[in-house]
Structure 1
Amino acid sequence: MTTAQPAQPAPRAPRLKEPQVRSGRLRPGAEQWSWRFMRLSGPLLVVLILTHLFINLMTGDGVNQIDFAFVAGKWAAPLWKIWDLTMLVLAMLHGGNGMRLLINDYAQRPWMKKLLHGALGVAVIGIIVLGSLVIFTFDPCPTGTDPELLNIELCKELGRL
């Protein structure tokens, strides 16, 4: 009679450590805040943009009313300046953040990522600065302008006509 030897357990493959993938961000948790910003700014942008379109296109004479005088009258009220500034800033930051994610996904060389991120940052900041300047330095009654183009009531109220 032969005695059976006890079955030996199968050898286990050595466990390899999974490589740590770093996002390249200097602040831990920044991607989570980026994700949250996108989820909050998206619905807010929808409300801001749909209201903007409704006021500009559906009230009054529709698209026929949009001219220099319409914009001057609208931006005479601080509410609409803040509304348009908020829409501009949120849209640029939301879109810039989305582009940043695309750059991270598709740019493979580190120097290309840096170049594209730099160009994106310059574009986003530049458009926000220029748009803010337009909103806050807009002159509703420029001198030497044809009075038919101006909002006459607004210019009289401001003492510019």
Structure 2
Amino acid sequence: MSVAPVIGKSYDRPASLDLPRSPRPRSNSNFEKYAWLFMRFSGLLLIVLVFGHMFIMLMIDGGVQRLNFAFVAGRWASPFWQIWDLSMLWLAQLHGGNGLRTVIDDYSRKDSTRFWLKTALVVSMILVLVTGTYVIFTFDPNITG
């Protein structure tokens, strides 16, 4: 039994597949595996931290009407809440930065573009982390106008 030829198609050789989009070479490093695991675990922990934060801020004891400078000053007087908010800041920044790093790797074609985008990402992440950490630990409730 023979197969009738289709116009414009040749069945003599198998169809070839295009190369993957990502031009970067694969390394033997486990960095991507650990980055993938970090995204899963940090995402779960962020859900707990963020929903806990929202529940406390919006639902308990009068809701959003009580949120003011004095509330924040009282909250950040406790090391527990400083660590809670610091954990939320650091995990959200690292989680989002890791996700954006993956997007940059997936969609930037040129190595130079990838380098500059990742450089801008790292610089902005460091600025946000340093500034946020500084504010949380040096917050002065005794502000004078």
Q: Which amino acid aligns with 1:133?
A: Y
Question: Residue 141 of structure 1 aligns with which residue?
Answer: 142
Q: Which residue of 2 aligns with 1:64?
A: 65
The structure-2 alpha-carbon separation of the partners of 1:105 and 1:66, relative to structure 1 and needing over 3 Å to count, comes to same
1:42-70 CA-partner distances (Å, limit 9, x unpaired) = 01000000000001110111111111000
Q: Cα deviations across residues 75-108 of structure 1 (Å, max 9, x unaligned)?
A: 1110000000000000000000000000000011
Pairing of 1:106-125 with structure 2 (within 5 A): 106-125=107-126
Tell me the SS of whatever aligns to 2:77.
coil
Return closer, same or farther for 1:21/1:71 CA change in 2, 3 Å cut-off.
Answer: closer
CA distance change for structure 1 residues 60 and 33 in 2, over 3 Å: closer, same or farther?
same
CA distance in 2, matches of 1:21, 1:95: 22
Matches of 1:104 and 1:119 in 2, distance apart? Answer: 14
Q: Which amino acid aligns with 2:77?
A: A
Q: In the comparison of the two structures, how many residue pairs are matched?
A: 126
Q: Which aligned runs of 4 or more in structure 1 are off by greater than 2 angstroms?
A: none
d(CA) in 1 for partners of 2:86 and 2:58?
19
Query: Where do 5+ consecutive residues of structure 2 fail to align?
Result: 1-13
1:6-155 → structure 2 map (5 Å cutoff): 22-23=25-26, 28-142=29-143, 144-145=144-145
TM-score (norm 2): 0.81
Alignment deviations for residues 87-140 of structure 1 (CA, whole Å, 9 cap, x no partner): 000000000000000000001111100000000000111100000000000001
The Cα of 1:141 is off from its aligned counterpart by 1.2
**SS of match in other structure, 2:29:** coil
Q: Which amino acid aligns with 2:25?
A: R
Q: 2:122 is paired with a residue of what secondary structure?
A: helix
| 1:127 partner amino acid | V
How far 1:21 sits from its partner (Å)?
A: 5.9
Larger Rg: 1
TM-score (norm 1): 0.74
2:93 aligns to what SS in structure 1?
helix
Cα distance in 2 for partners of 1:78, 1:21 equals 44
Give secondary structure in 2 for the equivalent of 1:55: helix
